[in-house]
Structure 1
Amino acid sequence: MTGGDIAGLIAAGVFAILVALLALPIIRLTKVFDELIVTIRSLNQSTGPLIEEVTRTVVTTNEQLEKVDDITSNVSDASANVSALSSLVTSTVGQPLIKVASFSYGVRQAFRGGKSGDAHGTANTGSTGGQYGSAQSSYSAGGEN
């Protein structure tokens, strides 16, 4: 055996030891990959039903939101109807009340004017008609508002 053969055998032995040392981490890495595959399969099996349940929940939520939308629309219509009714009651009741107030103001002014001896039947207070001046003149003229 020559020196070159001995060096070749030493190199081959070192290479065999190196391969053996690198084989252990590769075997462990293979076990890690096997565990990873098992974990992924488990997650895949458990997420399927979870996704189906979430889908059912979203569908049910959308149905409920459609019902809430209908309710909101009905409440909006009812609110508009109440507003219209309020305006109608205000104009129906309010206008006659204003006319009654104007008439009573005119009657009071007529009585005050009659007592003071005014020829026209109105008191001379120095005002330009006051709050109900225009309504008084329409009643005294026989017209209606």
Structure 2
Amino acid sequence: MSGGEIAGLIAAGALLILVIFISIFLMRITKVMKNVEKTVDGVNQSLNTVTKDVDVLSSEVEGLLVKSNTLLDDVNGKVANLDPVFKAMGELGTSVSDLNTSSRNLASKITSPKTVRNTMATRVARAVLRKK
């Protein structure tokens, strides 16, 4: 065997080893790609499920918002109707306070010693005039 034949055999062996390593690498890459494909399929299924759930939730939330707006409009209308009632109650409180002040002033005038004397003197004078 000549040097060229030996070099050819070495090159052929190296090429065979290279092909074996490349085929092992490709088999591993194939397994990884299959796992990635399974993972992507699982993610797509999960995403579809989540999308359906979000659609259901969004329709529920929309319904709740409509109901909330209706209730809020109703409450605002009722509060607007109550405003005059509270205003009238405030005015009534002011009137009662004024009446209490006037009653106290009248009571203090009637029960003052000067008023009592005048009243008693008037009664005595009437009684004396009646006896004559």
Structure 2 length-normalised TM? 0.71
Identical-residue share of aligned pairs (%): 8
5+ long unaligned stretches in structure 1: 118-145
Shift of 1:69: 2.0
Aligned residue-pair number: 115
Q: Corresponding residue for 1:94?
A: 97
1:50 aligns with 2:53: yes
Q: 1:18 to 1:114 in 2, by over 3 A?
A: closer
Give the superposed CA RMSD.
Answer: 2.4
5+ long unaligned stretches in structure 2: 119-132
Report SS of the residue matched to 2:93. Answer: helix
Higher relative contact order (CA 8 A, sep 6+): 1
Query: What do the CA deviations read for 1:60-117 (whole angstroms, capped 9, x no partner)?
Result: 12113213422442454355334312222123333222212211111111xx125678
4+ residue segments displaced more than 6 Å: none
Q: 1:114 to 1:33 in 2, by over 3 A?
A: closer
For residues 1-145 of structure 1, what are the structure 2 equivalents within 5 Å? 2-74=5-77, 76-109=79-112, 112-113=113-114
Name the larger-Rg structure.
2
Query: What do the CA deviations read for 1:23-47 (whole angstroms, capped 9, x no partner)?
Result: 2211201211220232133123312
Q: 1:106 to 1:72 in 2, by over 3 A?
A: same
